[in-house]
Structure 1
Amino acid sequence: MRLSLFIALLCISISTLAQISENAIGLQFNQLPKRWDEGLPLGNGLIGELIWQKGNRLRLSLDHAELWDLRPMKDLHTPGFNYAWVKEQVLKDNLKAIQKIGDEPYESEPAPSKLPGAALEFDMTGWGDVKRAVLNIEKAEAEIEWESGTRLTSFVHASKPIGYFRFENLKGFSMQLLAPEYEGEIDKNAGGSVAGDDLARLGYKQGKVLAHRQSFVYEQEGWGGFSYQVCVQWQQVSASVVEGQWAISAHYPQKPKVKAVRLLSVAQPYKASIASHQAWWKNFWGRSSISLPDSVLEKQWYLEQYKLGSVARANTPPVSLQAVWTADNGRLPPWKGDFHHDLNTQLSYWPAYSGNHLDEAMGYLNHLDQNRAQYKKYTQWFFGTDGLNVPGVTTLTGEEMGGWIQYSLSPTVSSWLAQHYYLQWRYSMDRAFLEKRAYPWFKEVARHLEQITYKDAAGKRQLPLSTSPEINENTRGSWFSENTNYDLALMKYVFAKAAELAKELKLTAEARHYEQIHAEFSNYYLSENNELKFARNLPYNQSHRHFSHLMAIHPLSEIRWENGAKEQAIIKNTIQLLEKTGPGLWCGYSYAWLGNLKTRAKDGEGAARALKDFATAFCSVNSFHLNGDQTKSGKSTFTYRPFTLEGNFAFAAGVQEMLLHSYAGFIEVFPAIPNAWQQVSFEQLRAEGAFLVSASKESGQVDAIKIVAEKGGKALLKLPFKTHYFQTRKGVAVKTLPGNMLELTFEKGGEMVVRNGYE
Structure 2
Amino acid sequence: MACTSGLENLPTKTSKSDLVFDSLAQTWDEGVPLGNATIGALVWKKGDALRLSLDRIDLWDLRPSDSLSGANFRFAWVKEHIRTKDYLPVQKKLDHPYDMEPAPAKIPGAALEFSLKELGNPSSVRLYLNDALCEVKWPEGTRLQTFVHASEPVGWFVFDQLDENLIPDIIAPTYADTLSGDSGGGPVEGLDLKRLGYSQGKVIRDGNKIVYHQKGFGDFYYEVAVSWMKSGKKLYGTWSVTTSLCPEKAEEEVEEAMKRGVANDYEDHTAYWDTFWKQSSVSLPDSLLQKQYDNEMYKLGSASRENSYPISLQAVWTADNGKLPPWKGDYHHDLNTQLSYWPVYTGNHLSEGLGYLNTLWNQRDVYKQYTRQYFETEGMNVPGVCTLTGEPMGGWIQYSMSQTIGAWLAQHFYLHWQYSADEDFLREKAYPFVRDVAVYLEQISFVDQAGVRRLEFSSSPEIYDNSLNAWFKDMTNYDLSLMRFLFRAASEMATSLKLGEEAAHWAQLESQLPAFDLDKEGALTFAKGHPYNESHRHFSHALAIHPLGLIDWSNGEKDQQIILATLKKMKDYGPDYWTGYTYAWYANMLARAFKGEEAAEALRVFASCFCLKNLFHANGDQSGTGKSLFTYRPFTLEGNFAFAAAVQEMLLQSHTGVVRVFPAIPEEWKDVAFTDLRARGGFLVSAERKGGKVVQVKIVSEKGGTLHFLSPDTGEVLEVNTKPGEVVSYKY
- For 2:173 and 2:644, the matched residues in 1 are separated by 33
Deviation of the 1:626 alpha carbon: 0.3
1:83-482 alignment runs, 5 A limit: 83-172=75-164, 173-186=166-179, 187-188=181-182, 190-236=184-230, 238-252=231-245, 257-267=247-257, 268-482=260-474
- For 2:451 and 2:421, the matched residues in 1 are separated by 37
Deviations 1:581-620 (A, max 9, x none): 1111111000000010000110000100111110110000
Q: Which residue of 2 aligns with 1:665?
A: 657
**What amino acid is aligned across from residue 558 of structure 1 in structure 2?**
L
- For 2:720 and 2:113, the matched residues in 1 are separated by 59
Deviation of the 1:522 alpha carbon: 0.7
1:553-572 alignment runs, 5 A limit: 553-572=545-564
Deviation of the 1:128 alpha carbon: 3.3
- For 1:189 and 1:244, the matched residues in 2 are separated by 35
Deviation of the 1:188 alpha carbon: 4.8
The answer on whether the counterparts of 1:545 and 1:585 sit within 8 Å (CA) in structure 2 is yes
Unaligned runs of 5+ in 2: 1-11
Deviation of the 1:125 alpha carbon: 2.3
- For 1:741 and 1:184, the matched residues in 2 are separated by 68
- For 1:676 and 1:162, the matched residues in 2 are separated by 45
Would you say 1:68 and 2:44 are equivalent positions? no
- For 2:479 and 2:107, the matched residues in 1 are separated by 33
Q: Which residue of 1 aligns with 2:7?
A: none
Seq. identity, %: 51
Deviation of the 1:184 alpha carbon: 3.2
Aligned residue for 1:161, secondary structure, equals coil
Q: Which residue of 1 aligns with 2:636?
A: 644
Deviation of the 1:126 alpha carbon: 2.6
- For 2:657 and 2:421, the matched residues in 1 are separated by 14
Deviation of the 1:129 alpha carbon: 3.2
- For 1:741 and 1:107, the matched residues in 2 are separated by 53
Question: What is the aligned counterpart of 1:493 among 482, 485, 495?
Answer: 485
- For 1:128 and 1:410, the matched residues in 2 are separated by 53
- For 1:198 and 1:189, the matched residues in 2 are separated by 5
Aligned residue for 1:616, secondary structure, equals helix
Deviation of the 1:258 alpha carbon: 2.0
- For 2:219 and 2:483, the matched residues in 1 are separated by 41
Aligned residue for 2:439, secondary structure, equals helix
- For 1:525 and 1:126, the matched residues in 2 are separated by 67
- For 1:244 and 1:61, the matched residues in 2 are separated by 16
**What amino acid is aligned across from residue 160 of structure 2 in structure 1?**
E
Deviation of the 1:665 alpha carbon: 1.2
Aligned residue for 1:223, secondary structure, equals coil
The answer on whether the counterparts of 2:696 and 2:731 sit within 8 Å (CA) in structure 1 is yes
- For 1:118 and 1:128, the matched residues in 2 are separated by 23
- For 1:748 and 1:81, the matched residues in 2 are separated by 52
Would you say 1:753 and 2:729 are equivalent positions? yes
1:592-607 alignment runs, 5 A limit: 592-607=584-599
Aligned residue for 1:380, secondary structure, equals helix
- For 2:482 and 2:599, the matched residues in 1 are separated by 24
- For 2:685 and 2:252, the matched residues in 1 are separated by 45
Deviation of the 1:169 alpha carbon: 1.0
- For 1:283 and 1:174, the matched residues in 2 are separated by 34
- For 1:337 and 1:545, the matched residues in 2 are separated by 20
Question: What is the aligned counterpart of 1:687 among 657, 664, 679?
Answer: 679
**What amino acid is aligned across from residue 499 of structure 1 in structure 2?**
S
- For 1:94 and 1:392, the matched residues in 2 are separated by 24
Deviations 1:56-82 (A, max 9, x none): 110000000000000012312132221
Deviation of the 1:292 alpha carbon: 0.6
Deviation of the 1:262 alpha carbon: 1.2
Would you say 1:741 and 2:717 are equivalent positions? yes
Aligned residue for 1:264, secondary structure, equals helix
Deviation of the 1:388 alpha carbon: 0.4
Structure 1's 230 and 333: CA in aligned 2 closer, same or farther, altered over 3 A? same
Deviation of the 1:189 alpha carbon: 6.2
1:41-52 alignment runs, 5 A limit: 41-52=33-44
1:567-586 alignment runs, 5 A limit: 567-586=559-578
Deviation of the 1:191 alpha carbon: 3.0
Structure 1's 48 and 24: CA in aligned 2 closer, same or farther, altered over 3 A? farther
The answer on whether the counterparts of 1:128 and 1:148 sit within 8 Å (CA) in structure 2 is no
Question: What is the aligned counterpart of 1:527 among 516, 519, 528?
Answer: 519
Of residues 520-529 and 177-186 in structure 1, the stretch that sits farther from structure 2 once superposed is 177-186
The answer on whether the counterparts of 1:485 and 1:533 sit within 8 Å (CA) in structure 2 is yes
Of residues 266-275 and 395-404 in structure 1, the stretch that sits farther from structure 2 once superposed is 266-275
- For 2:155 and 2:16, the matched residues in 1 are separated by 21
Deviation of the 1:565 alpha carbon: 1.0
Moved over 4 A (4+): none
The answer on whether the counterparts of 2:584 and 2:603 sit within 8 Å (CA) in structure 1 is yes
Aligned residue for 1:642, secondary structure, equals coil
**What amino acid is aligned across from residue 248 of structure 1 in structure 2?**
V
**What amino acid is aligned across from residue 260 of structure 1 in structure 2?**
A
Deviations 1:690-744 (A, max 9, x none): 000000101001111110001111110001113xxxxxxxxxxxxxxxx611001
Q: Which residue of 2 aligns with 1:728?
A: none
Deviation of the 1:190 alpha carbon: 2.9
Of residues 527-536 and 339-348 in structure 1, the stretch that sits farther from structure 2 once superposed is 527-536
Q: Which residue of 2 aligns with 1:733?
A: none
Deviation of the 1:95 alpha carbon: 1.6
- For 2:293 and 2:443, the matched residues in 1 are separated by 43
- For 2:202 and 2:624, the matched residues in 1 are separated by 43
When normalised by structure 1's length, the TM-score is 0.93
- For 1:749 and 1:577, the matched residues in 2 are separated by 45
Unaligned runs of 5+ in 1: 1-19, 723-738
Deviations 1:140-170 (A, max 9, x none): 0010001121110000000111100000111
Deviations 1:631-676 (A, max 9, x none): 1211111000000000000000000000000001100000000011
- For 1:308 and 1:524, the matched residues in 2 are separated by 35
Deviation of the 1:239 alpha carbon: 2.0
- For 2:429 and 2:66, the matched residues in 1 are separated by 33
- For 2:577 and 2:355, the matched residues in 1 are separated by 32
The answer on whether the counterparts of 1:48 and 1:325 sit within 8 Å (CA) in structure 2 is yes
Deviation of the 1:507 alpha carbon: 0.5
**What amino acid is aligned across from residue 328 of structure 2 in structure 1?**
K
1:664-743 alignment runs, 5 A limit: 664-722=656-714, 740-743=716-719
Deviation of the 1:22 alpha carbon: 6.7
**What amino acid is aligned across from residue 360 of structure 2 in structure 1?**
L
